[in-house]
Structure 1
Amino acid sequence: MTHPLLRFAELASQDPDALAVIQGDHALGRADLIGRAGALAQGLSLASGARVLVQLPNSPDMMALVLAIWAQGGLPMFLSAKSPATHLDAIIARHAPAHVIDIAALEALPAGQASLDLPVLPGDADASVVFTSGSTGMPKGVVQKAATLTSGADRVARVMGYGPSERILVPVPFAHDYGWGQMLSCFIGGHTLILPSRDSLVDISRTISRDVPTVLAGVPSLFAGLLHGISDFENSQTDSLRIVSSTGSPFAPALYAALRTRLPDVRILRNFGLTETYRSCCLPPEMAQGEADSAGRPIEGVTIAIAGPDGRPLPADQEGEVVHLGAGVFDRYLDDPDATARSRRTCGDLGIGVFTGDIGRLDQDGFLHLAGRRDRLVKSMDIRLNLSDVEAALTALAMVTETAVIARPNPMSGVELVAFCTARPDITAPDIRRAANRALPAHMRPREITVLDALPRTPVGKTDYPALANWSASTQKETL
């Protein structure tokens, strides 16, 4: 399988002027991006195998930098530009990158363009390290081989129904595995990437009108912000859009319905996968009507199994841990063989797979139904529940737009539920409390409800549960 760098170089030789990336008034063709990579490579001077930690916001130069690192035999490692200093310090201490490229370091590299020498790069070479979001702890570095990345981008393009030359709007960070997948769509599929100039909902909405994307790749929190936040999305010219693709957190039914109302002629594809699996399942709109609560079916090349406590596959409709097998399985966690062995192991006679930590079941038709994370199962009033179910029930209330729920130790009852909600205008915590008391059974009712302007996010847009746990002790917001 061709290395992504060599695939992009081949695409550039076939059509050097084809647009690779647009950001505001800055546009680079394929040959321009190769030339920019050549100049950056001259400034890097990497030893073969050198680890380069990239901590940058999305930009054409970040894309060129990845090509430059590959061309010198280096290994790009991605950490969000919004990650806390504690994450950066821990990664540097543990993994010893040869270089850390942030905005200042990038600006110190050569400007302009130069030729790029293409080395021999085998498909089994380490090609990327993406650090997990750290939403439940310190991030782990997920290593993927070149062939896995090339295969993943090709397979996803077929699942999405991409044409030969899509224009993909990418408002998610390249440092997130989903954003990294979009960059690979350019390198491997030759699609044009459109990058917002600023990290704001208003700029994303304006970019849709100005740069006429055909694909919008996002996450549920982004779509919630576009629909319900200060975004001007209601005035965006969306006629060019034909595909919306989402992954990350679960897509609440009300949010999905609202997005379909705003974009009635657009195919909305919901996806499931981990950094460790590239992409696992997809639920296209033609399957969504009868399977609204499903994560979809496995994509091309993937097998999904449900494992019991002994690690062996379970029959259909039995609940257990979701295991991803086949294409997309990550190679290892960087410098962490123990964590690799816990996640990447044998599932009965099916072979090596990724034990995802998600709880779910496969129905008789092969659709995956998720019940939540293994680490979000608690007992409330001696009844087992998943905190994700409480979140879904609260978000289903008409007055609530988004919810996060944590479990807090209680010396009397063992555990109590604490909910953080964003709400429609003029809605208060007592309003939500009264509605929740009517709609939810006693064991699912939060002991405490806090109304926030917005939920805290990790650098890649997921709910920051550790921040909420710290916040619950001394919130300054309206609390009941």
Structure 2
Amino acid sequence: MAHLLHHYLSETAARTPRHPALVAGEVSVGFAELDRLSDAVARALQSAGVVRGDRVAVMLENSIEYVAALFGALKAGAVYVPVNPSTKADKLAYILTDADVRALVAPAALARQVVPALGEAPHLAATLWVGPAGADGPRSLCWADVTAGPHRAPADPGLIDQDLAAILYTSGTTGRPKGVMLSHASLVSTTWSISTYLANTPDDVVFCLLPLTFGYGLSQVLTGARVGFTVVLERSFAFPADTLARMVRHRITGLPGVPTVFSTLLGLDAFKGADLSSLRYLTNAAAPLPTSHIQRLRERFPDAAFHSMYGMTECCTRICTLDPRDLDAKAASVGRAIPNCEAYVVDEQGHRAAPGVIGELVVRGANVMRGYWNRPDETAKRLRTGPLGETLLHTGDLFTCDADGFLYFVSRKDDVFKCRGEKVSPKEVENALYELEAVAEAVVVGVPDPADGMAVKAYVVPRDGATLSEAQIRQHCRGRLESHLVPKFVELRDALPKTDSGKIKRAVLAETA
């Protein structure tokens, strides 16, 4: 039985070597070939000096290379650090430095934005470039050269399941992302749990249009490696009609999504008549899906199971799931804790709350993070010792629980919200807005949106005499931020409400919005 995350791939490759593991565009790769590619990456990383516990960042779009780099990093004994390929140079430099990244896997096509960050990463020893041409950087390696030649296994790095497998960066209230530390044991257990309650089989064909840098997307690849099913990788959802055509062509059985995806699909005329009779299940996470959308999806796919889920990066992305059989009676619930996990609501005194009482959700289980990388104070706020000596994660999210034990999300205790399934730190967007000389004051809040779940809204006060337009603000943000952080709504104001001490009343603006 696998006790390290990459054992899932190796064991499946030995069991069903030719079964398709990944489909990306017109290219398909079997489990044995994926295992070989990842072994080659692991050997190259080890030759470059990567040893057990070193961090290896992967900054690629959804692709076969991404998955091979992920498993290659793990096989080398390294800790995998995902980086969104749309990340700008300054944020990339921050992550590379904060995590003391030893090696980076990046696309040669993005060398212009990547290379400036490399000089600010003192621990970086190697850069593995993916693409037709390499680029400059510390000990540059070329993907084609690294993966050529006969199959040879990497050296055993001596890992145990308590070693870190991943550091996933997530936004915080300060605007600077924090690295969530996840062990092999945590990810192995959660991968088993997810594939168990979804009842995955090797015959499944799961469509992954979620970024693999996003924990929800990553879980599709990990469960695929464990069970031995095929994952169809989609690079973007920019052209929904084309994406829908590929779903039909590949006869998909599983469709993981977020509210933005399902809202867009429901709005497509072609979606109504598309032959998706092979679909066995749909899953939604990252943000609640309106019950009206759930109902429309169930009417469209009466024979497919719909799983409402809730999670967070600090718990390997998954905490709760609603059994499809309970959907009629508990449509607004996110269900109960996943296998090998317990989740419950506590009141302000830290005692288990009575049914219907709003309190903070607390989680214990194998899925709980080790802590925040290099953030002991932040870790202490979230991780506390329970009455049985176990580690408890205080999620910071407000929930209620009914008399039957079903959990209901109420709101987040802090200002961080999710847009298109990804966390948004208002402070990070505000920092970008304040770079505009014409901006005197700015505040960002999340507003309910049928497509995005929560959309980014910016309230901006121009400086006296300055000229500022919504178009200028969005153009500036597109050049500084990832797409989900760019404000969807901008409201220019003469002034913002403030407290007596001069602080902007964010809650008042959020309520007004």
In structure 2, the CA distance between the partners of 1:101 and 1:224, relative to structure 1 (3 Å rule), is same
Q: Does 1:34 align with 2:38?
A: no
Determine if contact 1:153/1:189 at 8 Å carries over to the other structure: no
The partner residue of 2:58 within 51, 54, 57 is: 54
Return the offset for 1:474.
7.4
- Separation in 2, partners of 1:17, 1:135: 46
Determine if contact 1:132/1:142 at 8 Å carries over to the other structure: yes
What is residue 125 of structure 2 aligned with on the other side? Answer: none
In structure 2, the CA distance between the partners of 1:166 and 1:459, relative to structure 1 (3 Å rule), is farther
Q: Which amino acid aligns with 1:224?
A: S
In structure 2, the CA distance between the partners of 1:363 and 1:206, relative to structure 1 (3 Å rule), is same
- Separation in 1, partners of 2:493, 2:459: 13
The root-mean-square deviation of aligned C-alpha atoms, in Å, is 3.2
TM-score computed with the length of structure 2 as normaliser: 0.73
Q: Does 1:93 align with 2:91?
A: no
Determine if contact 1:268/1:285 at 8 Å carries over to the other structure: yes
What is residue 382 of structure 1 aligned with on the other side? Answer: none
Q: Does 1:239 align with 2:277?
A: yes
DSSP 3-state at the match of 2:248: helix
DSSP 3-state at the match of 2:264: helix
Deviation per CA, 1:177-234, whole angstroms, max 9, x where unpaired? 11111111122222211112554323321211111111111111111122225x8433
Return the offset for 1:19.
1.3
Return the offset for 1:93.
2.9
What is residue 442 of structure 2 aligned with on the other side? Answer: none
Deviation per CA, 1:50-95, whole angstroms, max 9, x where unpaired? 2111111111111111121122211110122223444323212322
Deviation per CA, 1:328-356, whole angstroms, max 9, x where unpaired? 11111111111111111135558422111
In structure 2, the CA distance between the partners of 1:460 and 1:318, relative to structure 1 (3 Å rule), is farther
Q: Which amino acid aligns with 1:15?
A: T
In structure 2, the CA distance between the partners of 1:253 and 1:69, relative to structure 1 (3 Å rule), is same
What is residue 106 of structure 1 aligned with on the other side? Answer: 130
Q: How does 1:140-219 map to 2 (within 5 A)?
A: 140-196=178-234, 198-200=236-238, 201-219=240-258
Return the offset for 1:327.
2.7
What is residue 274 of structure 1 aligned with on the other side? Answer: 312
DSSP 3-state at the match of 1:102: strand
In structure 2, the CA distance between the partners of 1:17 and 1:333, relative to structure 1 (3 Å rule), is same
Q: Does 1:305 align with 2:306?
A: no
- Separation in 2, partners of 1:375, 1:360: 14
Return the offset for 1:285.
2.5
DSSP 3-state at the match of 1:65: helix
Q: How does 1:38-437 map to 2 (within 5 A)?
A: 38-44=39-45, 45=47, 46-48=49-51, 49-104=53-108, 105-107=129-131, 108-109=142-143, 110=145, 111-112=147-148, 114-117=151-154, 119=156, 120-132=158-170, 137-196=175-234, 198-200=236-238, 201-228=240-267, 232-278=270-316, 279-347=318-386, 351-376=390-415, 391=448, 404=455
Return the offset for 1:165.
3.4
- Separation in 2, partners of 1:292, 1:460: 33
- Separation in 1, partners of 2:27, 2:17: 17
Q: Which amino acid aligns with 1:106?
A: V
In structure 2, the CA distance between the partners of 1:281 and 1:333, relative to structure 1 (3 Å rule), is same
In structure 2, the CA distance between the partners of 1:289 and 1:339, relative to structure 1 (3 Å rule), is same
DSSP 3-state at the match of 2:492: coil
In structure 2, the CA distance between the partners of 1:307 and 1:347, relative to structure 1 (3 Å rule), is farther
The partner residue of 2:492 within 451, 470, 473 is: 473
- Separation in 2, partners of 1:203, 1:132: 31
Unaligned runs of 5+ in 1: 378-386, 411-451
Determine if contact 1:209/1:237 at 8 Å carries over to the other structure: yes
- Separation in 2, partners of 1:143, 1:164: 30
What is residue 26 of structure 2 aligned with on the other side? Answer: 25
Number of residue pairs aligned between Structure 1 and Structure 2: 412
In structure 2, the CA distance between the partners of 1:135 and 1:116, relative to structure 1 (3 Å rule), is farther
What is residue 120 of structure 2 aligned with on the other side? Answer: none
Determine if contact 2:459/2:492 at 8 Å carries over to the other structure: no
In structure 2, the CA distance between the partners of 1:30 and 1:176, relative to structure 1 (3 Å rule), is same
In structure 2, the CA distance between the partners of 1:96 and 1:309, relative to structure 1 (3 Å rule), is same
- Separation in 2, partners of 1:403, 1:7: 35
DSSP 3-state at the match of 1:209: helix
TM-score computed with the length of structure 1 as normaliser: 0.78
Q: Which amino acid aligns with 1:177?
A: G
- Separation in 1, partners of 2:165, 2:279: 31
What is residue 447 of structure 1 aligned with on the other side? Answer: none
Moved more, 115-124 or 263-272: 115-124
Q: Which amino acid aligns with 1:169?
A: F
Return the offset for 1:277.
1.1
DSSP 3-state at the match of 2:152: coil
Unaligned runs of 5+ in 2: 109-128, 132-141, 417-444, 462-473, 495-512
In structure 2, the CA distance between the partners of 1:5 and 1:351, relative to structure 1 (3 Å rule), is closer
In structure 2, the CA distance between the partners of 1:182 and 1:88, relative to structure 1 (3 Å rule), is same
In structure 2, the CA distance between the partners of 1:235 and 1:137, relative to structure 1 (3 Å rule), is farther
Seq. identity, %: 26
Determine if contact 2:61/2:235 at 8 Å carries over to the other structure: no
What is residue 422 of structure 1 aligned with on the other side? Answer: none
- Separation in 2, partners of 1:353, 1:163: 33
Q: Which amino acid aligns with 2:50?
A: A
In structure 2, the CA distance between the partners of 1:78 and 1:135, relative to structure 1 (3 Å rule), is farther
In structure 2, the CA distance between the partners of 1:347 and 1:251, relative to structure 1 (3 Å rule), is farther
Return the offset for 1:468.
5.7
In structure 2, the CA distance between the partners of 1:409 and 1:313, relative to structure 1 (3 Å rule), is farther
- Separation in 2, partners of 1:185, 1:84: 30
What is residue 441 of structure 1 aligned with on the other side? Answer: none
Determine if contact 1:133/1:460 at 8 Å carries over to the other structure: no
DSSP 3-state at the match of 2:50: coil
DSSP 3-state at the match of 1:353: strand
Q: Which amino acid aligns with 1:210?
A: R
Return the offset for 1:136.
7.9
Return the offset for 1:248.
0.4
Q: Does 1:7 align with 2:26?
A: no
